[in-house]
Structure 1
Amino acid sequence: MLDSLRNASKGWLGAILILVLVGSFGFLFGIQDWMDFTPTPQIAAVGDEKISPETFQQEFSRYLRKMARDTKVELSTAEAKAKDLDRIALDEMVTRFATVEKAKALGLVATNSQIADMLKTNLPDGSGGVNRGAFQQLLQENQVSEPEFYELVRADMLRSQLYRTIAGGTTLPPGLEAALQKFRLQRLVAEYVLIDPARAGEIKDPDDAALKAYYDTHADKQYSTAEYRALTLVTVRIEDVASRVTVTEGEIKQAYDRAKNYFETPEKRRIDQIRFKTEAAARAAKAKIDAGLSFDDAAKAEGYKPEDIRLGEVSKNDTTIPAVAFELPVNKVSDPLKGAFGWVILRVLSITPGTVKTLDEARAAIRDQFVKERSKDLLVQLTIDFEDALGGGATIEEAARKLSLPLKKVPVIDARGNDTAGAPVEGLPGGEFLAQVFAAETGSDSEIGEASDGVRYVYRVDKVTPAARKPLAQVREEVLTNWRNEELAKRLGAIADDLVKKGSGGQTMASIASSLGVAPLRTDPMARYGKQGVFGEDTLSAAGDAKIGQFFTGSVADGKSRVVAKLVEVTYQDETPSDPQRMMYGANLRQVFTEDLIEQFGQAVRADVGVSIDETQFAKFHTGE
């Protein structure tokens, strides 16, 4: 957990830690024009700070872009709101802001000099300072001022300090892990009989009127063709224009010299830490270690487990780790140190020396970054040129030909991006593109759009084929099959429910099986999750909820039969303490517990700082009013 809190994504020439911070955390409380005395609506308040709908709109847009990068799934704003992602984004936003306020109230600080040191490391000018040109480019790309940028980074540092404190030394309550491990190892044994389709008896086909009524009830969702559209499409991607970019060897060499620090991998160390409530306790423990007590035993004496004292691998440029940690030899224990949250002693477990990439090793990465940055500029220019061509009277086809841009004719596409066979149409923009296409008029050129992945596009809808019900005669066999399946499920369900009622009334499983002309079957010991033998997941869930001797029913893995079962035994699988699966499950439990603790801490901080959400303003945002 500490490692994941400490690590951050990095890139070069602007695509560094700061971009992640700006892209992920949004504007700190939405800096507004202090000269504007006109009352503005607020969607939320954190303490005395107000969050306007405009500020939240910026945050929500960044939230969706980040989600698209993380999940590889692009959603339009409307789709995201339909899934209530705007509520989740607002909740996360106010929790972050409240955490920053709490960190400040506790006296935590992130100084300008610390931020400047980070900039010197990531945007070096070759003489120990900050490359102002690269820094200004970074500010422009993210549309923030220098003071706003400093506040963004400062907020992230404060949150990191606070979360590290909460996560450090976290342990599960006594007995909880043992109870959860026991629950995982629980195995269920049941007696059962199968109610197969043959027991439903003859299912006569419905008459024409009944079949027509069933068809009418389900036609719009099951027996209709989609609306289809044909369109002309031009898309321009970064990779489409990259081949037009040139980079000289001199530019590569100059960039390497300016950003040489970036190609240095700092020394890393694996460090253990014991935290103490008082200086006296820390010095007493250090004296015992000097007298021969092991570091691990000293930690144990303070109530820590081995995993509680692990800081993991940390870098030499990590300002949250005392500098003395990078002066200690391996297995050497530090003297007591006063940190922001108490007294600690440290031990170094291993050292990984730092490295520096040569120009030859870095050349490809530098060139790729130049191409990437210049392709963005070229993409913007091509967009402007394309707009100018359309404004001058050119058709989409003519403008694409003039600028050597790829043009695509899409003969048929539905609202999900599929053709008539249900196969995805390749090469389409993401985001709101499909929603825009299916809201557009026929024959008109669209405005130039931009998807969340940076793709620019323009299109024209050439033809619309409306959605229509398939004639009953065309889909009669499909409708009849669906009707039969539903009728079969109803009959088998009724039989199973009646047998469960008899079992619950005192009839034995043997008696129930005998009434069916079969012998009762018995399962092997089953885990409480997944699919086990013939039992479907819903049946296994019912078994887990049942008491010994209780009857239950559910689906069977074949998807057609039903099962009537009785829980007869609960056993536990044997497992050694060193079993890899047990250890992995325990580690997952501790991580989840830590995450839950941090989430609860966030809720407590919100209550302490004071968070309010204007539901009326949020409803307007949600509906787009």
Structure 2
Amino acid sequence: MLDAMRAATQNWFGRIIMTIVMSLLIAAFALWGIADIFRGFGANELVRIGSDTISVEAYREAYQNELQQLEQRARRAITNDEARKMGLDRDVLARLVSQAVLNQDGHRLGLALSDHALAEEIVQDPAFQDPDGKFNKQSFDARLQNAGLTEQRFVDEQRHSYLRRQIITALTDGLKPPKMMVDAIHRYYNETRTVDYMLLPRSAAGIVAPPSDAALKAYYDARKATYRTNEFRKLVVLPLTLQGLSERLGKTDPISTEQVKEHYEKIKAQRFVEPEKRQVEQIPFKTQAAAEAAETKLAGGESFDSLIKDLKLTPKDVNLGIVTKSGMIDPTIAAAAFSLPQGQVSKPVKGKFSWVILRVDKITPSVVTPFEKVELPLRQAMGILRAHQKISKLHDKIEDLRASGKSLTEVAKAMGMTARTVDAVDAEGYDKAGKPVSGVPDLQAVTKAAFASDVGVDNEPISTRDGGTIWFEVADVDPAHQQTFDEVRPTVTAAWIEDQQAKKVTDKADAIVKKLSSGAKIADLAAENHLDVKHNDAVKRSGGAGLTQSEVAQIFDEKVGDSASASDGSGGRMIFKVVDARVPPIDPKAKEFNKILADVKTNLGEDVVGQYLSRLERQLGIKLNQQALRTALGSQ
């Protein structure tokens, strides 16, 4: 259910529905979670829902898991303050509460899942299957270990999860969106409009006389905040990353083609050889005598397929699928199967568990990826590995030099490295020209740390995700300040002229729109203003050829037959008239329609689930231990 809740937020309609659902959950906390009723909690109780509780440890673990996933997606560290601003703490709590509510409801309804059925569900989970679709115990154990779960705890959690799914399925299965809703959404996405329009350029404003000093000063005073600079900092940065070190070593001590080829030969069998595969069929026999009797029938002219029928077997019973030699369980049978020519039948083979007769239906030869195709990525991988072996010692040498009092510039010189000087960068990573600063690894982390530091401070180095380190010094601080009128006079003058041009163009466009609305023909008005009339009969809310999104939005704000103007994004105005609007009939077979319908059904289901949860929460009652929540989040 939680995956569905996340997926539902990927479109605008889903976000509306999910806002309702989350509002219901948050409202529940507001109604039952804030008051002196929090007294009397156990030391480890965070939330009490009916007869169930959520412990501080369970909440903290769920919160940390969500935070780690968020950091992995963002590819950077995220502080608790940032996470709370995103609402992560509330989302995690809402999810745990909804799970606890549904667990109790499942118990009330008498829902149960047998051990056998649960085992089948787990075995069929694609996360625990190998490429052939079979359950892989090693993969299962590894995933549980990575998640910090014991097998028993995982099984218990899955049992609750499957029972919750039964409730959700019962609530949502068979839901159909109302026809009026489907029609409205279909109209929104597929309505097509026809417009006639003309473009009134900025040059139509004519020459704008320069402003007087008084007018310009008044314009500046009214917009002073616009002419305030950001704080900028000058930084000295010394990065030591695996990629950078690998590139540096590649120049001073390049890896030869012979070395790469030698490495290729060592790992070729494991990485660059696609093993031979065979489509194998196997008829099992309980005894050697039965296998030899079958061999006699085959020698007498009976076909392999007829033998399968005689033994009351089906093709599915004997088909081993497409297998590799190493992938077959029994080495003796594997050796026999991979020694047969295609289409041939084997003599009886004694396997570990039974006698068998084999047939090879198809052979896919082994394929070797040639050295030339993998030389470059192999060289790069060898370079990274070499850098990984050396980076720790280099890190320690740099730290020793810093401990001796040397600046980063001096450290870089002593190490044969280059320290990068960033003359000016703001907290967002831009220079004074408004361009992104380049050449600094993990710039976001560097600027964040630099703006929390100051000149002369011995800063803690920043660890990169690839195992590298970035050292930095704040060399200078240029505080944010208000630019004086004289400093920005040319910029203010240009802005004033641009505003005046825009006003003149807008006034002229309004006059033309007024004439259009009074019945004048767009062709006549275009000729009068030396403009060209353009026609577009395929404008949808998703866009229209040659039109900006703001122009499209304005077109759909008007009724058919109405006229208006919109900014063209370059200082001019687009003057248009909506000629027609068409909504095609719904095609139940259309891919786009079915996608929309699936989204609507999903979101309706989430809405029903949200309402059901809200009712259950009112019945069970929710009590929240605010002090425990603050402790869990490290707020106190």
TM-score per shorter chain, which class? 0.5 to 0.7
Flag the 1:483–1:147 CA change in 2: closer, same or farther, 3 A. farther
**Partner of residue 447, structure 1:** 460
Which aligned pairs between 1:359-370 and structure 2 lie closer than 5 A?
Answer: none
* 1:603 positional shift: 1.4
Distance 1:86 1:179 in 2: 36
- Asked if 2 retains the 8 angstrom alpha-carbon contact of 1:225 and 1:468, the reply is yes
Does the 8 Å CA contact 1:510/1:520 hold for their aligned counterparts?
no
Match of 1:540 among 540, 552, 577: 552
Q: What is residue 304 of structure 2 aligned with on the other side?
A: none
Distance 2:390 2:156 in 1: 31
1:496 Cα deviation from its structure 2 partner:
4.6
Matching of residue 436 in structure 1 with residue 465 in structure 2: no
Note if 1:466 corresponds to 2:479.
yes
Q: Distance in 1 between matches of 2:451 and 2:175?
A: 52
Q: CA deviation at 1:502?
A: 7.3
SS of equivalent residue, structure 2 residue 595: helix
Aligned partners of 1:40 and 1:614: how far apart in 2?
Answer: 12
Quote the residue 1:204 is aligned against. Answer: 209
- Would the aligned equivalents of 2:106 and 2:163 in 1 still touch at CA under 8 Å? yes
1:524 paired residue among 536, 540, 543: 536
Decide whether aligned partners of structure 1 residues 175 and 37 sit closer, same or farther in structure 2, where only a CA change above 3 A counts: closer
Once the 2 structures are TM-superposed, how far is the Cα of residue 597 of structure 1 from its aligned partner? Answer: 3.6
**Matching residue of 1:28:** none
**SS of equivalent to 1:415:** coil
Report the CA distance shift for 1:138/1:623 in structure 2 as closer, same or farther (over 3 A). closer
The residue aligned with 2:53 is 49
In 2 relative to 1, CA 549–526 (structure 1 residues): closer, same or farther, beyond 3 Å? same
Q: 1:430 to 1:531 in 2, by over 3 A?
A: same
- Residue aligning to 1:561: 572
CA contact (8 A) 2:242 2:468 kept: yes
- Paired with 2:624 and 2:396, the residues of 1 have a C-alpha distance of 44
- The aligned residue for residue 549 of structure 1 is 561
**In 1, Cα distance between equivalents of 2:102 and 2:588:** 38
Question: Structure 1's 445 and 186: CA in aligned 2 closer, same or farther, altered over 3 A?
Answer: same
Equivalent residue, structure 1, for 2:351: none
Which range moves more in the overlay, 468-477 or 511-520?
A: 511-520
Going from structure 1 to structure 2, the CA distance change for 1:236 and 1:195 (only over 3 Å counts) comes to closer
Structure 1 residue 437, shift from structure 2 partner: 1.7
Cα distance in 1, alignment partners of residues 177 and 321 from structure 2: 31
* 2-structure distance, mates of 1:4, 1:130: 27
Aligned mates of 1:218, 1:621 — CA distance in 2: 45
1:484 lines up with 2:497 in the alignment: yes
The secondary structure found in structure 1 opposite 2:536 is coil
CA distance in 1, matches of 2:481, 2:399: 40
Kindly state the Cα deviation for residue 227 of structure 1 after the two structures are TM-superposed. 0.8
Q: Secondary structure at the match of 2:215?
A: helix
Give 3-state SS (helix, strand or coil) of 1:526's partner: strand
1:183 CA displacement? 5.3
Give runs of aligned pairs for residues 207-246 of structure 1, distance below 5 A: 207-216=212-221, 218=223, 220-221=225-226, 224=229, 226-235=231-240
Code of the aligned partner of 1:189 = T
Segments of 5+ residues of structure 1 without an aligned counterpart are 6-35, 244-248, 257-262, 268-326, 331-350
CA contact 1:229–1:461 (8 Å) conserved in 2: yes
- Aligned residues: CA RMSD: 6.4
Partner of 2:19: none
Deviations 1:14-63 (A, max 9, x none): xxxxxxxxxxxxxxxxxxxxxx97646848969833364x7656545543
Q: Do the aligned partners of residues 156 and 382 (structure 1) sit closer, same or farther apart at CA in structure 2, a change above 3 Å counting? A: farther
Scaled by the length of structure 2, the TM-score of the pair is 0.54
Are residues 1:570 and 2:577 paired?
A: no
Equivalent pair of 2:391/2:468 in contact (CA under 8 Å): no
- Residue 523 of structure 1: SS of its match in structure 2? strand
Change (3 A) 1:597 1:175: closer
CA positional deviation for 1:77: 5.1
The AA in structure 1 aligned to 2:606 is: E
% identical equivalent positions: 18
Any gaps of 5 or more consecutive residues in structure 2? 6-39, 250-262, 280-312, 328-365
**Residue deviations 1:304-352, cap 9 Å, x none?**
xxxxxxxxxxxxxxxxxxxxxxx9989xxxxxxxxxxxxxxxxxxxx98
Give the Cα separation in 2 of the matches to 1:102 and 1:420: 60
Q: Secondary structure at the match of 2:538?
A: coil
Instruction: Decide whether aligned partners of structure 1 residues 410 and 545 sit closer, same or farther in structure 2, where only a CA change above 3 A counts.
Output: same
- Check if 1:189 corresponds to 2:215: no
How far apart are residue 386 of structure 1 and its match? Answer: 8.4
SS at match of 2:521: helix
Give me the whole-angstrom Cα distance separating, in 2, the residues matched to 1:46 and 1:435: 45
Helix, strand or coil for the counterpart of 1:230?
strand
* Shift, 1:100, TM fit: 5.6
Distance 1:472 1:447, change over 3 A: same
Q: 2-side partners of 1:542 and 1:179: how far apart? A: 19
> Post-superposition shift, 1:417?
2.9
CA distance, structure 2, for counterparts of residue 620 and residue 212 of structure 1: 54
- Separation (CA, whole Å) in 1 of partners of 2:234 and 2:462: 19
Distance change in 2, residues 1:614/1:378 (3 Å): farther
Distance 1:91 1:494, change over 3 A: farther
Aligned-pair distance for 1:415? 1.8
What secondary structure sits across from 1:547 in the alignment? coil
Cα distance 1:511–1:417, how it changes in 2: closer, same or farther (>3 A)? closer
Question: Is 1:417 the counterpart of 2:429 in the alignment?
Answer: yes
Contact 1:177–1:586 (CA<8 Å) still a contact in 2?
A: no
Distance 2:126 2:389 in 1: 28
In the TM superposition, what whole-angstrom CA distance separates every residue of 1:242-286 from its partner, at most 9, and x where no partner exists? x9xxxxx9xx99xx9xxxxxx9x9x9xxxxxxxxxxxxxxxxxxx
The residue type paired with residue 600 of structure 1 is: D
Equivalent in 66, 69, 73 of residue 69 of structure 2: 66
Instruction: State the one-letter code of the partner of 1:562.
Output: R
The match for 1:592 among 578, 595, 599 is: 599
* Aligned-partner residue type, residue 426 of structure 1: G
Instruction: Give 1:151 deviation, angstroms.
Output: 5.0
The one-letter code matched in structure 1 to 2:214 is: A
1:528 CA displacement: 2.4
Give, in angstroms, the shift of residue 481 of structure 1: 1.9
Cα distance in 2, alignment partners of residues 232 and 591 from structure 1:
51
Question: What letter matches 1:560 in structure 2?
Answer: G
Q: Give the 3-state SS of the residue equivalent to 1:228 in structure 2.
A: strand
- Native 8 Å contact 2:461 2:470 kept in 1: yes
Among residues 95, 112, 117, which one is paired with 1:107 in the alignment?
112
Instruction: Give deviations 1:493-546, integer Å, cap 9, x for gaps.
Output: 455556667777xx2243996599459946332322244356543343233243
Alpha-carbon distance in structure 1 between the residues aligned to 2:63 and 2:418: 32
1:436/1:588 CA distance change after superposition, 3 Å:
same
Rounded to whole Å, the distance in 1 between the matches of 2:551 and 2:406 is: 61
